[in-house]
Amino acid sequence: MEKLTGKTVLITGATSGIGRELTNLFAKDGHNLVLVARSGESLDLIAKEYEEQFGVQTMTIAQDLADPKAAEAIYEKTKGTTIDILVNDAGQGVYGKFATETDIDQELAIIQTNATSLMHLTKLYAKDMVARNSGKILLLGSEVSVFPNPMMAVYGATKAFVKSFGEAIRNELLDTNVTVTVLMPGATNTDFFQKAGAAHVKGADPAKTADPAEVAKEGYEALMQGKDHVVAGWANKARVAMAHVLPDPLLAKGVRSDMTPKDESEEESKSAVVSVAIGIGVVAGLLAGLYFAYRKSSPYDKVKYKYKAHKALSGLKHSSAAAADSVKGSLLSAKGKVDHSPTGLIDSVAGALHKAKASVEEALV
Positions marked active-site: 155
Can you tell me the distance from the alpha carbon of 320 to that of 323, in angstroms, rounded to the nearest whole number? 5
CA distances (Å), origin 27, targets 6, 38, 81: 10, 20, 17
Max CA separation in the chain (angstroms)? 71
Contact 291, 309 (CB under 8 A): yes
Label each residue of the chain as H, E or C. CCCCCCCEEEEECCCCHHHHHHHHHHHHCCCEEEEEECCHHHHHHHHHHHHHHHCCCEEEEECCCCCCCHHHHHHHHCCCCCCCEEEECCCCCCCCCCCCCCCHHHHHHHHHHHHHHHHHHHHHHHHHHHHHCCEEEEEECCHHHCCCCCCCHHHHHHHHHHHHHHHHHHHHCCCCCEEEEEEECCCECCCHHHHHCCCCEHHHCHHHCECHHHHHHHHHHHHHHCCCEEECCHHHHHHHHHHCCCCHHHHHHHHHHHCCEHHHCHHHHHHHHHHHHHHHHHHHHHHHHHHHHHHHCCHHHHHHHHHHHHHHHHHHCCCHHHHHHHHHHHHHHCCCCCCCCHHHHHHHHHHHHHHHHHHHHHHHC
Query: Is residue 197 classed exposed, middle or buried when 0-12, 13-18 and 19+ CB atoms within 10 A define those classes?
Result: middle
